[in-house]
């Protein structure tokens, strides 16, 4: 991979954004800031660590054991072997591997933290991590095994191992031995210096990288859910006055008002007669109140994710300016854990909203004149066609699974490692849960996207929906979806997957 310089975020010159992490996760490269003073400061931290070693100073994880073994002294002649042992004994992750894109986000988060200059690592270490990103050789990193403090130790050990030429990396979507892949790319493995394995592993990079990806997906999902709701309102002949700006002016939640205004503008002011009901059912009428919760939460979620992303979050902190070693707990992922637990709850609620809209659309008792299950079959053939019946069952299953996963991971702190890590964040589990909830919610959104497209087409066939009734925005969206009218039953898996792929690629411009 040879990304152009133009698209490569620069690390070290300024704080990194969520959008830049997402760009790197999806193929952009990285550049290290070329300011000599910044590079000199990085090297000064590593030199300070070396000087302490030469003076036989006691530094946690460098001349002592790890965690509960912090009182066990390590002879100086063995200090340089300690990082290798840390990396190797943490090579016990299980579960599915993170995808290459997810792992690129993790590497970016770790590099951003180390680039703060408070970790006592060498410049060459930053260069090697950047090289893994730019040559698209992310480590195979198991997703299970982190309790979120003391950092993401086990999954990040796979990064430390790859830098030393051990374990495996992804190359062109396939697992390859790290030593061979590095050699082919012209990347020299390095022997990690005494503080460097700890600096790589003892931080929040896994949960933070995943949180960046989750935030971007949640933001897009909230916009998509809003547009689908506008179409669902038209398909069910809903009451557009539910989204009147005058109504929302009296309850000034900014995100809720934003969603209502988007729907109001989507619907336009072309009404062909009174709505079917004075008050629509909640899944239509209260959509701004449901989606708005996430819209209002996204700004503070961004704040906390980007604060963590641009922090030094390992232990101990090495202050090269004042030549101090500061022992603390910045590896604790409490903020990311809380964000991910909150996000997955808000996202699952949107999945539930969309599932309820789909249930209204397919049911003749509530869809105000649309055929059962949105089937396009007519006459005698209507008896053997079932339209979206199974799709609605599937959406209900996906929604149920999403709702089940809203149990907060942060509530399940466990005492580990001989009661040294006796209160932990569970941030990485929360982040993994959140991504799974997003995956399920996107599946529900894909189902409803096709269903509202079918519903609009059925209204048009009935003569209930002249073309001018749709605003230009909604016409464009309907046409971009490109769902062929469902007259005779056909397997919809391929069309659902194609729609899901477009949602995840964020193909449609929304608001």
Choice between 356 and 275, residue whose per-residue pLDDT is larger: 356
pLDDT on residue 78 = 78
Residues 405-462: pLDDT tens digits?
Answer: 999 999 988 888 777 778 899 999 999 999 999 999 999 999 999 999 999 999 999 9
Please name the residue that has the structure tokens 């009734």. Answer: 469
List the single range of 7-11, 316-320, 337-341 with lowest mean pLDDT: 7-11
From 60, 158, 332, 366, active-site residue: 60
Residues 194-217: pLDDT tens digits?
Answer: 899 999 999 999 999 999 999 999
pLDDT on residue 4 = 39
Q: Answer whether residue 361 shows pLDDT above 80.
A: yes
Residues 454-502: pLDDT tens digits?
Answer: 999 999 999 887 776 788 999 999 999 999 999 999 999 999 999 999 9
| Sequence spans of domains, the chain | 5-203, 211-317+329-504
Rg of the chain over Cα atoms, rounded to whole angstroms, equals 26
pLDDT on residue 425 = 92
Q: Answer whether residue 156 shows pLDDT above 70.
A: yes
Q: Write out the CATH class of domain 5-203.
A: mainly alpha
Q: How confident is the model at residue 135 (pLDDT cuts 50, 70, 90)?
A: very high
Containing H/E element for 177? strand 174-177
Q: How confident is the model at residue 288 (pLDDT cuts 50, 70, 90)?
A: very high
pLDDT on residue 55 = 81
Helix runs in 310-426, H state only: 334-362, 389-404
Q: 31-32 and 168-171: which strand pairing?
A: unpaired
Q: Answer whether residue 60 shows pLDDT above 90.
A: no
Rounded to whole angstroms, how far apart are CA atoms 376 and 372?
9
Whether 220 is catalytic = no
Containing H/E element for 10? strand 10-11
Exposed, middle or buried by CB within 10 Å (0-12, 13-18, 19+), for 215? buried
Cα torsion angle, 423, 425, 429, 434, sign: positive
Rounded to whole angstroms, how far apart are CA atoms 372 and 380?
14
pLDDT on residue 217 = 98
What proportion of the chain, given as a percentage, has pLDDT over 90?
83
What's CA 153's distance to the chain center, in Å? 20
Q: How confident is the model at residue 273 (pLDDT cuts 50, 70, 90)?
A: low
Q: Answer whether residue 321 shows pLDDT above 50.
A: yes
Asked if residues 183 and 224 have their Cβ atoms less than 8 Å apart, the reply is: no
Q: Answer whether residue 1 shows pLDDT above 70.
A: no
pLDDT on residue 63 = 76
Q: Write out the CATH class of domain 211-317+329-504.
A: mainly alpha
Choice between 24 and 78, residue whose per-residue pLDDT is larger: 24
Residues 323-342: pLDDT tens digits?
Answer: 999 999 999 999 999 999 99
Q: Answer whether residue 370 shows pLDDT above 90.
A: yes
Query: What single DSSP character describes residue 64?
Result: B
pLDDT on residue 79 = 77
Residues 78-101: pLDDT tens digits?
Answer: 778 888 988 999 999 999 999 999
Give which of 313, 351, 356, 318 is closest to 440, Cα–Cα: 351
Q: Answer whether residue 162 shows pLDDT above 80.
A: yes
Q: Answer whether residue 274 shows pLDDT above 90.
A: no
Average pLDDT over residues 364-376: 96
Q: Answer whether residue 187 shows pLDDT above 90.
A: yes
Q: Answer whether residue 5 shows pLDDT above 60.
A: no
Average pLDDT, the chain: 93
């Amino acid at each position: 991979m040879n990304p152009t310089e133009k698209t490569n975020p620069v690390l070290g010159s300024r704080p990194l954004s969520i959008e830049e992490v997402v760009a790197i996760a999806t193929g952009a490269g990285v550049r290290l800031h070329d300011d000599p003073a910044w590079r000199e400061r990085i090297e000064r931290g590593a030199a300070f660590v070396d000087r302490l070693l030469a003076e036989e100073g006691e530094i946690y994880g460098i001349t002592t054991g790890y965690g509960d073994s912090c009182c066990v002294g390590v002879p100086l002649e063995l200090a340089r072997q300690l990082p290798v042992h840390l990396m190797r004994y943490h090579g016990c992750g299980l579960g599915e591997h993170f995808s290459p894109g997810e792992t690129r986000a993790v590497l970016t988060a770790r590099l951003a933290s180390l680039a703060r200059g408070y970790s006592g690592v060498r410049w060459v270490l930053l260069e090697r991590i950047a090289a893994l990103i730019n040559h698209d050789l992310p480590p195979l990193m198991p997703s299970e095994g982190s309790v979120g403090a003391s950092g993401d130790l086990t999954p990040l050990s796979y990064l430390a191992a790859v830098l030393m030429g051990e374990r495996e990396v992804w190359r062109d979507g396939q697992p390859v031995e790290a030593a061979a892949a590095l050699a082919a790319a012209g990347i020299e493995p390095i022997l990690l210096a005494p503080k460097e394995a700890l600096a790589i592993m003892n931080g929040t990079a896994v949960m933070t990288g995943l949180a960046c990806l989750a935030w971007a997906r949640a933001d897009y999902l909230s916009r998509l859910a809003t547009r689908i709701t506008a179409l669902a309102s038209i398909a069910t002949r809903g009451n557009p006055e539910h989204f009147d700006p005058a109504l929302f002016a009296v309850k000034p939640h900014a995100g809720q008002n934003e969603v209502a205004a988007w729907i109001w503008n989507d619907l336009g002011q072309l009404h062909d007669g009174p709505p079917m009901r004075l008050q629509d059912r909640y899944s239509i009428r209260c959509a701004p109140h449901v989606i708005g919760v996430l819209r209002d939460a996204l700004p503070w979620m961004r704040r906390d994710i980007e604060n963590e992303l641009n922090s030094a979050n390992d232990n101990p902190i090495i202050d090269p300016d004042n030549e101090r070693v500061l022992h603390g707990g910045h590896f604790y992922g409490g903020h990311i854990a809380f964000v991910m637990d909150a996000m997955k709850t808000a996202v699952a609620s949107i999945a539930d909203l969309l599932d309820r809209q789909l249930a209204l659309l397919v049911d003749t008792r509530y869809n105000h004149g649309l055929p059962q299950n949105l089937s396009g079959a007519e006459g005698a053939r209507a008896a053997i066609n079932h339209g979206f019946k199974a799709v609605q069952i599937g959406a209900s299953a996906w929604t149920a699974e999403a709702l089940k996963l809203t149990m907060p991971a942060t509530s399940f702190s466990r005492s580990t490692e001989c009661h040294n890590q006796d209160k932990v964040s569970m941030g990485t589990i929360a982040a993994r849960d959140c991504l799974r909830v997003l995956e399920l919610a996107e599946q529900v959104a894909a189902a409803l996207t096709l269903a509202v497209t079918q519903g609009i087409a059925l209204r048009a066939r009935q003569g209930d929906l002249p073309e001018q009734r749709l605003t230009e925005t909604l016409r464009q969206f309907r046409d971009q979806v490109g769902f062929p009218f469902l007259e005779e039953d056909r397997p919809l898996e391929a069309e659902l997957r194609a729609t899901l792929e477009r949602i995840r690629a964020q193909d449609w411009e929304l608001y």
